Structure 1
């Protein structure tokens, strides 16, 4: 039997593994995709808001020549951390069931069955997109994830949203020759947009290089056009692609199925002890951005790295008390 099973092979899952390894406990990290799967699916041109030292885990230095590391830097750093520490990673293995059995847990995946005294859930929030819930959303031209701006050269692109991801898509596709229309639900570009990017998008809108509709909503999507509801009325514009950068959310169905309690409001915040990260289920912990529910802006790699040490401290205390 394992001491700990960690669900999620992102940066915080790896941090939990490093903390468990340091404590001399047996563990396995199970990840349904590739290593740091969410970061792998970030745009190829993505640059982090934070400096590299704020993304470090387990005391391993993150060395890069960039002031702010990019996606490639981060993928290489976390790969080296995982391999140099020989972390027991089971990639492309999805957890399908977690059941309590005699004060420990039985964890079933698509490949194996494990038993562990403790379970850490560090599944992030990037795998489930927030839908628009409008006609035509499921057409192939509608995308919630974005990789390379060159794909959209000479295309008419609608970008929905005003956060970092939406603004990056709008600016990068525009600079690759796309005709970009930005649809923003609020009255202005979000103040959470990276400080060196926000002036750029504001100036592109002012000069007319990017058309923006504020206090607006995308209402319907068809093969060659789309409807936008604006304060002046509904307009229809030609369209080739819709980039619905409407955000992402934790896999609440998975959390509910394994028994983690969620708040009754529309934020769906998981129940956990803020001092130990233990959930309503004894011996099951949450780590990383999954802790925020729909408030996905609360937790990042930078401020949730501490969860690993908090959890392991509580597990070690429990083990000592049991002796």
Structure 2
């Protein structure tokens, strides 16, 4: 069983930042990622453009050069992959952490491939793994997906998109322009206010001209093989349908956090317990980094404002280590 000063669970941008900082400070470390490098970004839509400009996505002051001010998915994949490879980071890919158990001051990390011992743990798993489900009949049909990759698949199809945030609106516009007959089902009275400012006018214009049909203040009640049932302000209606994209957001793996002993707030936000000045959770030696710190408030933390977590965490680990040596 290999031992490390630090095991980092999650190989996204913030997990990579933690690995870089650990290596720079001379700590032994291992990053464990259940998929490829920056797995969450890899599963983003193929044509996605970030809200943030490239310099705000940089980690460890390594320049991120993109064609436009706001980079696209493939440019981000290239950037973070090059950081991992050129710095020869110690990262295990396609390896899933199944259990973390603390005993006698050390953590035992068990994955589907090996077991490790670590003095400290960083959980940087993000929130993109678990979709917010609709919990309605028919949601498990093969034609329903909670993830969107490419508009080509939906060309010449009747496509219902559920949601009003960036992912839903981007998908609606892309698929419409590739020949889909798009219906937008929006629970609220309007397109989300957080939609990218250069995209929101576009979708509103497409709706107003009738190119995309929007159902406001509406919810899908049931999904059938060839149609969907929608509850609208004018009553229940059925529309013909080939595919459904339920892009209603995602959430952290709270079950995994609770299994680690991390306390969550009792309200709907499910905020995990941690100290902002160290990022250490209520479990000594177990740190949180990145988006996962916001619980259900997934719009609170981004790469640009959580990349500092890496330096905060490593500084605290070194501080405690120095204290142990002096005592």
Deviation for aligned residue 1:308: 0.4
Tell whether 2:133 aligns with 1:145. Answer: no
Distance 2:291 2:133 in 1: 20
Q: Which runs of 4+ in 1 moved over 4 A?
A: none
| Aligned residue number for residue 10 of structure 1 | 12
| Aligned residue number for residue 158 of structure 1 | 160
Q: 1:122 aligns with which of 111, 121, 124?
A: 124
| Aligned residue number for residue 267 of structure 2 | 265
Alignment deviations for residues 212-254 of structure 1 (CA, whole Å, 9 cap, x no partner): 0111101100000000110010100000001000000001111
| Aligned residue number for residue 211 of structure 2 | 209
Tell whether 2:60 aligns with 1:63. Answer: no
DSSP 3-state at the match of 2:281: coil
DSSP 3-state at the match of 1:105: strand
Distance 2:187 2:35 in 1: 33
DSSP 3-state at the match of 2:159: strand
Distance 1:101 1:54 in 2: 39
Q: 1:317 aligns with which of 307, 316, 319?
A: 319
DSSP 3-state at the match of 1:242: strand
Deviation for aligned residue 1:159: 0.5
| Aligned residue number for residue 199 of structure 2 | 197
Q: 2:54 aligns with which of 48, 52, 55?
A: 52
Alignment of 1:1-323 (within 5 A): 1-323=3-325
DSSP 3-state at the match of 1:297: coil
Deviation for aligned residue 1:191: 0.8
Distance 2:269 2:139 in 1: 23
Can you give the 5+ residue segments of structure 2 that lack an aligned partner in the other structure? none
Distance 1:221 1:30 in 2: 38
Distance 2:257 2:314 in 1: 21
- Please report the RMSD computed on the Cα atoms of aligned residues, expressed in angstroms: 0.6
Alignment deviations for residues 164-196 of structure 1 (CA, whole Å, 9 cap, x no partner): 000001100000000010000010111100000
How many residues align structurally?
323
Deviation for aligned residue 1:207: 0.3
Distance 2:205 2:65 in 1: 34
TM-score (structure 1 length as normaliser): 0.99
Deviation for aligned residue 1:98: 0.4
DSSP 3-state at the match of 1:115: strand
Alignment deviations for residues 131-168 of structure 1 (CA, whole Å, 9 cap, x no partner): 00111000000100011101101100001010000000
DSSP 3-state at the match of 1:108: strand
